[in-house]
Structure 1
Amino acid sequence: MFGSVVTALSLRRCFYLSAIVVILSTLMAAVIIVKLSPLESVKCQPHMVTSPVEWSTLSSQGQAGVGDLIIAVHENRSRMQELNGKSYGEMRQKMVQNKVARISNRMRKKIMPLINRNSSIDTNYNVHIFYYPWYRSLEFDKSWKHWNHDYLPNWKKNDKRVFPDGKHKPPDDIGANYYPSLGCYSSRDPQVIDLHMKQLKETGVGVVVVSWIPPNAIDSTDSVMSDILDAAHRYSLKVAPHIEPYAGRNPINLIEHLKYLFSEYGKHPALHRIKRETDGAVLPVMYIYDSYVFPSNSWWELLSDRGNLTLRGSEIDAVYMGLLVDAQHKNHIKKSHFDGFYTYFATNGFSFGSSWKNWKDLNKFAEQNELLFIPSVGPGYIDTQVRPWNADNTRHRRHGQYYGYAWSSALNSGATTVSITSFNEWHEGTQIEPARPASNKDFTYLDYEPEGPNLYLNLTKLWVEQFTKKYKNAKPND
């Protein structure tokens, strides 16, 4: 019996010692891995992660001591993970900074010499750009508009995160992630309009697609239309209205608004006109935003020769461009009898139409159906100062690389007309208008540094030159 007791004690002691050895081996292996790991090293920490462990202390401990050791191991692991996570985060941030620096360096070496030339460029009327005349300033207009944009409610109903609400408070706090070089200007200021047209002239862009909202509608932009047309004409630019989805708009009342638009501006020499391929008629170009929200049979009544309310052959006939967002909108465009379609959004991958990989097929579809296809390129996208919950759709500019990829995709698509989103849609961060560094106590705005405020005007000029070379036979049709 004594022998059995001794044997039992020996076995228990062996069990405890074996357990301790296993735990210590695991701990030592973890320490060795941490020391050897190039990504998660804690050697830079100023203090020891664990205190020394004495074998004599461990051998004298019982089962409770083993339990304490296990707890200590878990605590040490948690501390190491926390420190390693911090170290990895710092390393990751450093890697991103270095990558940005490399991109910027390539830009300065390869692109900047090309875009800093003072040579003039011919205007290309097959390059269009979206323009927004809805900004108002306290100094010029006695009240703010759009610079004080609301934070918009989250369209993701299942998203329970809490985001800012209310309005922005210009001039330090504006509804944009970038800050304009001109400050919070008024779109009604003749000097601002003239400068904008001059800047566009220097890029080679030919057609300014102006956001138009009729008189008496909320946010109407009609009062600025005459000044924009006159300024565009001074710089040999053309203007195409971009009819916004104002409150109550439908294909029926649109007829009355089109009649007003044509009666007021239809004879202006700056109104952009092209030859319609199907019948050779030279007509104004009209973009219609969110055209797909109305069924194709409603548009058919207006745009088909056989429609009961047809515009064809009337004083308000035009080349009408519908917006294509989803793949099924191809059939909508065709059945509606639009003359062509555009993609607008500057977010690659956000929609079928805005995805660069689809542009070749869309151009092929347009050619097969005698439609005009106008893909929309853009320098990037960020709207978290008005839609703070929409960060997933941000497209970083990467010092002009994103813009270059978009342009290359447009050139490779075969499309002979391109649109740019945008000159000054500041809310969505798609603008090529000059921006400058700025900040307030709560927010630091993005900018175009280190290349400077005119980076995207200069890049636009470079890409318009490339586009013109590829389609050197493309000429204005007005």
Structure 2
Amino acid sequence: MLLKKYVKNRRKLKILFLLMVIALIVITVVILNISPNVSSTERVLDERFIARIYGGGGGVVGSQDGRLEQPPLKSPRQNGVIVPEKYDEHKVKARIAQERVQQLRQEQQRNAVDAGEERTKLDAVTTGVHIFYSAPVAWYKTKKPQLVAPQLQLRGAAKELLNDVSDAVLSSASSSPTSGITSPTTTTTTVKPVRILNTAFYPALGLYKPTTSLLQKHFDNIHNCGIGVLILSCSGKAGEVELYRQLLELAPSYNLSITFEISVAGNQSVEFLQQQLEAVRRYATAESFYRVYSLARKRLVPVIYVSNAYKLSETPAGRALCQTHPETLRRIFDAYFIGHIRLKNHVDIMRRLCFEGFYNKLPSNGATFASTWKNWSYLKSFALTYKMLFVPTVGPGFAERNKFPRHGDIQRHRSNGRYYGVAWRTAILNHVGFINIASYNNWPDGSQIEEVIPKAGFLDYNPGAKTKYIDLTTHWVGNFLKTRHEAAAVAVLGQPSCYEFLNNTIC
């Protein structure tokens, strides 16, 4: 009845509505003021979480319900102004760098696992592919420091006068020891030579020494690539005899053969070359000593590489390898000698010195005539004309700048394996009988295919895995075998070619 009474008056109704709105506003303000005292499980900003993330060190405090809570964050203030948190750029960069290094390590481990799972192995082993092997590796080179004695720089008459005075003083001192004048003494200081790590890459196995387990790992890698022959450098030193005998005993377990490379020079006599052959002959009775069947001699003949053979052209020992020589060295050790060449006229020198073949040895395209890929077709044609054997040497690259300074910079970049591939493809297309690989572990020359690890100050195989060039070698040896089988299948019967035999046969 009261509401109906007031409804009839429109002015009074407006006043009543306004009072109700004011009452609702007052009630809302009262409720909002008392809400912080009420424990709520839902908060827009969880102060305990923020304090834990930013590592608030104020300790924990107890809440009314007995739970331990972090104290709320309090921004520092100076004169009533909020001071922002300090930003340490160095710490942030260090944290980002650590995260990046960790990420790279995980990627490398993942790539190594993937490469190990996808790595291919050749079931067949060919003796048509030879690889240079260093045992032991010369990790360091010795550099003698240059000492410059302090000298007085004089010219003309002053220098001559000083020399005359010093000579007179020395002569008088030597003639009259009691005159009180003593001759000047020179003091010399002995400076130790500096050892420098002589490699552009860093091996994954460290700076190793040849042990049984290490040799087994190397031989297993070489066997899996399909390579059948190792070339060792024979110098006749006493320390290498036992090591090489161990290599010869271990090789048959991995279906490998071993041959040797001897080194000669232009000023060496027949007696020196004789000593070199006698040093190799001591290993000739081993089962794994590499031999081929010669059609001309109708017997098995060992294969020996001769480094720097072109230097024998003007020496008495030059024609000592010929059968017609009165003191022929073939009586000591008869073998199929393959000589090292560099220039175009060296092939004719090899023919006159009675070598059965020649090889270029240096895996640096363009450094010499023999190591240039486009010249291999000429060398192959010359070898066929005179019934000789041309053995090209391929390599993944070359990282020794000062080995042949007369030819300038002969360093060759690997170009992510493309350099290695062009060398292999050129050798295969020339249908050669043998191919040399330089090398498995010649680290001082930077021509190795062995595994490396990324290390500060050294080159590596990135973006590939550490076994990148072992895998590439397996691939190209397989292509070489395939090409030889195809060539042998289409060979004309009755006209055998010394470059197409698959049974270790040569002319």
Task: Give the TM interval when normalised to the shorter protein.
Answer: 0.5 to 0.7
Q: How does 1:10-409 map to 2 (within 5 A)?
A: 116-135=118-137, 146-150=138-142, 167-169=194-196, 174-187=197-210, 189-215=211-237, 221-245=240-264, 249-262=268-281, 264-295=282-313, 298-299=316-317, 301-312=319-330, 314=331, 316-384=333-401, 392-409=409-426
The answer to whether the Cα contact below 8 Å between 2:124 and 2:226 also exists between their aligned partners in 1 is yes
1:228 aligned partner, one-letter code = L
Of 456-465 and 252-261, the range deviating more from structure 2: 252-261
1:120 Cα deviation (Å)? 3.5
- Give the secondary structure class of the aligned counterpart of 2:288: coil
**Partner in structure 1 of residue 472 of structure 2:** 459
Is it true that 1:477 corresponds to 2:504 in the alignment? yes
- For residues 387-444 of structure 1, what are the alpha-carbon distances to aligned partners after superposition, in whole Å with 9 as ceiling and x for unaligned? 99997211110110000000011012221210011111111110011111112xxxx1
Q: Is 1:436 matched with 2:453?
A: yes
Q: Given residue 414 of structure 2, which amino acid in structure 1 is its aligned partner? A: R
Structure 1: any 5+ residue segments left out of the alignment? Answer: 1-107, 136-145, 154-164
SS of alignment partner, residue 140 of structure 2: coil
Q: Does 1:468 align with 2:481?
A: yes
Normalised to the residue count of structure 1, the TM-score between the two structures is 0.64
The two structures, once aligned, show a CA RMSD in angstroms of 2.9
Question: Any conservation in 2 of the 1:303–1:311 contact (CA below 8 Å)?
Answer: yes
Residue 30 of structure 2 is matched in structure 1 by none
Query: CA 1:476–1:346 in structure 2 vs 1: closer, same or farther (change >3 Å)?
Result: same
Distance 1:386 1:325 in 2: 14
Structure 1 vs Structure 2: percent identity of aligned residues?
28
8 A Cα contact 2:204 2:451, kept in partner: yes
Supply the distance in 2 between the matched residues of 1:181 and 1:389 (Cα, whole angstroms).
Answer: 33
Q: Per the alignment, do residues 225 and 114 of structure 1 end up closer, same or farther by CA in structure 2, a change over 3 Å counting?
A: closer
**Alpha-carbon deviation of 1:284?**
0.8
Whether the 8 Å CA contact 2:302–2:336 is kept in 1: the answer is yes
> How far apart, in 2, do the equivalents of 1:152 and 1:461 lie?
41
* Partner Cα distance (1:147, 1:260) in 2: 25
Q: 1:384 to 1:392 in 2, by over 3 A?
A: closer
The TM-score, its normalising length taken from structure 2, stands at 0.61
CA contact (8 A) 2:122 2:474 kept: no
Q: Specify the structure having the higher radius of gyration (Cα).
A: 2
Structure-2 separation of matches of 1:114 and 1:280: 45
Change in Cα spacing, 1:213 to 1:297, as seen in structure 2 (3 Å) is closer
Letter in 1 for 2:247: I
> In the superposition, relative to structure 1, how do residues 448 and 391 fare at CA in structure 2: closer, same or farther (>3 Å)?
farther
Per the TM alignment, residue 150 of structure 1 is displaced from its structure 2 partner at its CA by 3.3
CA 1:306 to 1:359, structure 2 compared with 1: closer, same or farther past 3 Å? same
The 8 Å contact of residues 130 and 227 in structure 2, kept in 1 or not, is answered as yes
Deviations 1:223-268 (A, max 9, x none): 3211111221210101010113489854332213322421x21111
Q: Distance in 2 between matches of 1:272 and 1:129?
A: 13
Quick one: distance in 1 between partners of 2:262 and 2:214?
Answer: 22
In structure 2, the residue corresponding to 1:209 is in which secondary structure?
strand
AA at the equivalent of 2:214: V
> Is the contact made by 1:121 and 1:465 (CA closer than 8 Å) also made in structure 2?
no
Q: Which runs of 5+ in 2 are unaligned?
A: 1-110, 146-191, 489-500
Pairwise CA distance, 1:211: 1.1
- Contact 2:269–2:315, Cα closer than 8 Å, also in 1: no
Deviations 1:297-335 (A, max 9, x none): 6455422111012134x3510011100111110111010
Secondary structure of 2:422 counterpart:
helix
SS state of the match for residue 239, structure 1? strand
Counterparts of 1:327 and 1:391, CA distance in 2? 19
The number of residue pairs the alignment matches comes to 333
